[in-house]
Structure 1
Amino acid sequence: MAACSFRRSIASQLSKVLDLPPENLIKSISAVPVSKKRRVADFQLSIASVTEDNSRDCLAPDLHLQAQKLAEGTVLRQVLKDGSEYGVKSELFSTVPKQKAVIEFSSPNIAKKFHIGHLRSTIVGNFIANLKVALGHEVIRMNYLGDWGMQFGLLGVGFQLFGNKEKLKTSPLQHLFEVYVQINKAAEDENTKKLAKDFFRKLEEHDEQTLSLWKQFRDFSIDEYIRIYKRLGVHFDEYSGESFYQEKSKEVLKMLENKGLLQKTIKGTGIVDLSEKKDLSSFSTVMRSDGTSLYITRDLAAAIDRMNKHNCDTMIYVTDKSQSNHFQQLFQILKLMGYDWVERCQHVSFGLVQGMKTRRGEVIFLEDVLNEVRSRMLENMASTKTTKEIEDPMETAEKVGLAALIIQDFQGLLSSDYQFSWDRALQSRGDTGVFLQYTHARLHSLEQMHGNEQLTDINVACLQEPDAISVLQHLLRYDEVLYRSSQDLQPKHIVSYLLTLSHLAAVAHKTLPVKGSTPELAQARLCLFQAARSVLANGMKLLGITPVTQM
């Protein structure tokens, strides 16, 4: 029973006092955010909107008090009863239809090493998928690999000139990247350009030897991606790729031609006019002069195929904002082709990460960053006394380090660029992922210290202190925060909520001791901390963070 259900419960009990139908009261009750400056009730009751009779105003203080007590009396039991479903069972979501969503995210290019730009797409897409699954939607997580196109012509020629089969097996992404850098230097030569075009044409014509080499690039790369995704705690239901749509893109070109949408330029390239006045002031190129497909042609084929295959209610593409124009054109062409479902397609864009360098200061690859954040966390943990007791410091450092990266990334609007700072991300105090993990570990340790028992008969009336009330008030708002994030797909609402919860819980942990209190008070306080830890863990998991129990 989250905030919306609390309103119903409070309304039903207050209706007995006021002798009014509960329906008249529900709309007058609203949850109040925690305020650091002043202590307020969990719920406000607008007395004026309840009745026109001003003589009833004298009831206001009494009603506020009753509303507060009723809410506090149920929130802890509800958090512990609902467990991981607390908040998502709220009546706020009762009118939201359960949907089927295809979410395309991460989508690295096989010809290039998995670089830091893919981190944002990976963690943002993972968050959206986690949130939708938690809310009961059916989700297909799709990784659409950049595994086709002219760059493979270059890479194929590069591998024939500079490649090493052993290096390809042991370190495919690194080796292909090195080959790609070498061949790009040579690509200014006209002969190399011609060889690259020939290689790609052979690929499109399904030449056996050329396809075999390309398939090795793809298979070795996917194996390495899966290893990196495992470190990020991310999985995919489908690995798709541009190569799947090379044949289908020819069908798309035929469809465009049949609908009178495909035009040829003097150079022989195929274009689609996107201008309102049909004066070619805005157009999209969908075919090269030699008839080979382009990125957008393959994306058109992929969108049509996915919708036919999955018949989903929504299709979400998670990429950086530099691709906004591409998706605008993609959706426009689909609309011109008569596909009404394009209204259900959405591009979730994000800004760039600036200033992320490792200690070596070289080109940033995702794995270098994951290794760096883990080693820095290990150093920080080694300087504290408790680390010696941790069973697997390396794994803990990995999880805490990832939390640091995710929280720094998710604090602002996704569309904003942001300046990355190692020092800020790894601080153990303040608004950081490290602080969230530290708070979770402390609260877990408190539960273990007191037997980890399931609490039943709690007397919530014991929790009178302002610091306890603040935590209770904040727990009541969890469903509203989830609802906001589900509407705009921005993780920042949940991040802000969890950071505030951690700060409130940290203060309460200092001022409300469990040890040495009367059994009744100790039980109530322990229950309060259990509830805070449970909601903290739920929210962290939605963001893609695995909560640690030791630090």
Structure 2
Amino acid sequence: MAACQFRRAIAAQVSRVLDRPEDQLIKSISAVPVYKKQPSADFQLFVSSVIERGQDYPRPDTQAETQKLADKLRPDAVVSEISTGAGTVNFKINRELLAKEVVQQVSNDGPEYGFKSELFSGLAKGKTLVEFSSPNVAKRFHVGHLRSTIIGNFIANLKEALGHQVTRLNYLGDWGMQFGLLGVGFQCFGHEEKLRANPLQHLFQVYVQVNKASDEDENIQKAAHEFMRKLEAGDMEALGIWQRFRDFSIEEYIRIYERLGVHFDEFSGESFYREKFQDVLKLLKDNGLLQTSVKGTGVVDLSEKGDLSSIATLVRSDGTSLYITRDLAAAIDRKTKYDFDTMIYVTDKSQETHFRHLFHVLQLMGFDWAEGCQHVPFGLVKGMKTRKGDVVFLEDVLDEARSRMLHNMSAAKTTKELEDPDDTAEKVGLAALIVQDFKGPLLSDYQFNWDQALQNRGDTGVFLQYSHSRLCSLDQMSGSGVLKSLNPACLLEPQAICILQHLLRYDEVIKKSSEDLQPKHIVNYLLVLSHLAAVAHKTLPVKGSAPEVAEARLHLFRTACSVLGNGMRLLGITPVSKM
């Protein structure tokens, strides 16, 4: 790709001077962000990292070494100018070559642009499992699961684009004491007609009622424990009730996932491991790891001193399983079934201790592959309300986003006539939710604000969609056919060079996200690209320009549109071509 071609050319020249292998130099060469006030540099070689790799300590004076290196380098067919910065050697690329290579490479690579970079040459590709979303069966899809769903979808998209074999897992909360309560609650408060009419809404109402009743009557809790005991014992009547609730739930969830543009390769659940957890307990006992606490619970000692100062509780005093017990069984079963290299769990940060204990117990059991297990935690969304007040269910949020976007689109003078306004509003509204969520660090809590999220001129998902549709419209108005050959000499204006230079950095941004699994790098990159395209759209007109100039600018805008759309899809956003 273009960035790699330029890095390689720079590395080759530096390699001859320093007598160092090119591959050792490549990752010290970085494209300069367009917002830095260094218009003469397209790439920087970070001399400090070169010195650290090439020489022993004490390290020589970096700035002196920088100037010494720069003095030995010469402009050539690729590099038109060489200068120095604070610890860097700066390389200005031949402008016409820059325009020609970037436009051509984006066109040739399509969705793979950025992923063919040499920055990923040493990347190990393997089997990756991503467990995300994981709502609780027999409850309506709670808004709290939105973050897990869209973050997990992004991670799966990114891993697939990097060449991993990805399996998307939805590990349903379909077992545990909540079913004991719900089973008893339906016997006390349930109505068959209401269940058939609106299954999850009625089950939610029943759950609220039985929870309140259990606070006032300890017999409800006892009955719930008994119902759960029957479930784990395989009682057919109890299992029949549970299966109906589970089937209703999955049918509802699939409908919501379609709205989100999310799919799964496997729906499993804690119930799959209601019997296999016994095998886990046996393995723990055989290895001398399972102990009985003074409360009668089964625990594993996680302390270094063996004094039970840190424990993981795996079994209740009545012998029933816990969440972590079933997670252990699930992890072991998945390793056997998929032989994964990496397994990623996406949940809120309140479960950090749970996963730390889970991975620790797996390692104590002798499973070295536990090192490939990773928890990606995220913070909470605060203040998410609809016009009706505080919001609980995800579908209400999606409906609200669509409704508000329909209103905004109908009020805007620039809105095009659309075949399906509802569908466009749905996609733009979802983009607003995703970008609002992805702009900052995943671990941070954030305050949700509808007005901010739905602005069409700020750093929002609406702005990304607007930018993409505007670039598509420009292409369509110009015939959207096959463009003729590009004359790169027609793309030397600063506004065009800024876009081309920004496109050079796409592989570096992807690399950052691949390392920390944070979507913020890609979101902020796409927002900058959209702003640069907006400026260029105003200052580099297509209509009324000489044919060769108009053709070159169409090449530029089509290139920007392609990368913008690719990045949006990576985030889980479906780009719209008209709005």
Per the TM alignment, residue 43 of structure 1 is displaced from its structure 2 partner at its CA by: 2.4
What residue identity is the alignment partner of 1:332? H
1:27–1:291: structure 2 CA closer, same or farther, 3 Å change rule?
Answer: closer
Number of the residue aligned with 1:4: 4
Pick aligned residue for 2:398 from 370, 375, 380: 370
Number of the residue aligned with 1:324: 352
Number of the residue aligned with 1:33: 33
Alignment of 1:281-430 (within 5 A): 281-387=309-415, 389-430=417-458
CA distance in 2, matches of 1:27, 1:489: 20
Number of the residue aligned with 1:88: 115
Pick aligned residue for 1:472 from 500, 504, 514: 500
What residue identity is the alignment partner of 1:379? H
Match of 1:444, SS?
helix
1:132–1:28: structure 2 CA closer, same or farther, 3 Å change rule?
Answer: closer
What residue identity is the alignment partner of 2:166? V
What residue identity is the alignment partner of 2:412? T
CA distance in 2, matches of 1:66, 1:366: 49
Number of the residue aligned with 2:461: 433
Deviations 1:168-206 (A, max 9, x none): 233222111111000001112122111111111111111
Pick aligned residue for 1:176 from 203, 215, 225: 203
Match of 2:148, SS?
helix
Number of the residue aligned with 1:232: 260
With CA pairs under 8 Å and 6+ residues apart, which has the higher RCO, 1 or 2? 1
Q: TM-score, normalised by structure 1?
A: 0.95
What residue identity is the alignment partner of 1:467? Q
Number of the residue aligned with 2:87: none
Q: Is the 8 A contact 2:384 2:390 kept in 1?
A: no
Pick aligned residue for 2:179 from 116, 130, 152: 152
Moved more, 262-271 or 197-206: 262-271
Per the TM alignment, residue 297 of structure 1 is displaced from its structure 2 partner at its CA by: 0.5
Per the TM alignment, residue 22 of structure 1 is displaced from its structure 2 partner at its CA by: 9.8
Pick aligned residue for 2:149 from 122, 139, 149: 122
Deviations 1:206-239 (A, max 9, x none): 1111111100000110000000000000000000
1:229–1:195: structure 2 CA closer, same or farther, 3 Å change rule?
Answer: same
Match of 2:542, SS?
coil
Per the TM alignment, residue 408 of structure 1 is displaced from its structure 2 partner at its CA by: 0.6
Pick aligned residue for 1:509 from 537, 544, 549: 537
CA distance in 2, matches of 1:283, 1:364: 34
Match of 1:334, SS?
helix
What residue identity is the alignment partner of 2:323? Y
Pick aligned residue for 1:185 from 205, 209, 212: 212
Number of the residue aligned with 1:43: 43
CA distance in 2, matches of 1:129, 1:172: 31
Q: Is the 8 A contact 2:416 2:578 kept in 1?
A: no
Q: Is the 8 A contact 2:270 2:326 kept in 1?
A: yes
Match of 1:109, SS?
coil
CA distance in 2, matches of 1:201, 1:507: 66
Match of 1:286, SS?
strand
1:68–1:10: structure 2 CA closer, same or farther, 3 Å change rule?
Answer: farther
Per the TM alignment, residue 68 of structure 1 is displaced from its structure 2 partner at its CA by: 4.4
Q: Is the 8 A contact 2:100 2:486 kept in 1?
A: no
1:49–1:70: structure 2 CA closer, same or farther, 3 Å change rule?
Answer: farther
1:46–1:487: structure 2 CA closer, same or farther, 3 Å change rule?
Answer: closer
What residue identity is the alignment partner of 1:534? S
Match of 2:374, SS?
strand
Deviations 1:306-326 (A, max 9, x none): 011100000000000000000
Deviations 1:137-156 (A, max 9, x none): 10000000000011101000
Number of the residue aligned with 1:499: 527
Q: Is the 8 A contact 2:34 2:498 kept in 1?
A: yes
Number of the residue aligned with 1:113: 140
Number of the residue aligned with 2:97: 70
Number of the residue aligned with 1:446: 474
Moved more, 105-114 or 536-545: 105-114
What residue identity is the alignment partner of 1:148? W
Deviations 1:50-102 (A, max 9, x none): 97594767999645455444333200111011111110111111111211101
Alignment of 1:227-266 (within 5 A): 227-266=255-294
Q: Is the 8 A contact 1:42 1:68 kept in 2?
A: no
1:299–1:56: structure 2 CA closer, same or farther, 3 Å change rule?
Answer: closer
1:306–1:181: structure 2 CA closer, same or farther, 3 Å change rule?
Answer: same
1:502–1:101: structure 2 CA closer, same or farther, 3 Å change rule?
Answer: same
CA distance in 2, matches of 1:153, 1:45: 63
Moved more, 430-439 or 33-42: 33-42
Deviations 1:250-304 (A, max 9, x none): 1111111111111112332111111111111111111111111111100110010
Aligned residue pairs, count: 550
Q: TM-score, normalised by structure 2?
A: 0.90
Match of 1:412, SS?
coil
Number of the residue aligned with 1:207: 235
1:209–1:453: structure 2 CA closer, same or farther, 3 Å change rule?
Answer: same
Match of 1:247, SS?
coil
Per the TM alignment, residue 386 of structure 1 is displaced from its structure 2 partner at its CA by: 4.4
What residue identity is the alignment partner of 1:181? V
Per the TM alignment, residue 39 of structure 1 is displaced from its structure 2 partner at its CA by: 2.6
Moved more, 46-55 or 266-275: 46-55
Match of 2:401, SS?
helix
Deviations 1:18-49 (A, max 9, x none): 9x999498677531111265533322468976
Q: Is the 8 A contact 1:445 1:549 kept in 2?
A: yes
Unmatched runs of 5 consecutive residues or more in structure 2: 48-64, 83-90
Per the TM alignment, residue 388 of structure 1 is displaced from its structure 2 partner at its CA by: 5.6
Deviations 1:479-507 (A, max 9, x none): 01001100110000000100000000000
Q: Is the 8 A contact 1:168 1:220 kept in 2?
A: no
Per the TM alignment, residue 5 of structure 1 is displaced from its structure 2 partner at its CA by: 3.3
Number of the residue aligned with 2:53: none
Percentage of identical aligned residues: 68
1:366–1:40: structure 2 CA closer, same or farther, 3 Å change rule?
Answer: farther
1:46–1:145: structure 2 CA closer, same or farther, 3 Å change rule?
Answer: closer
Q: Is the 8 A contact 2:128 2:165 kept in 1?
A: yes
CA distance in 2, matches of 1:291, 1:352: 34
CA distance in 2, matches of 1:106, 1:7: 40
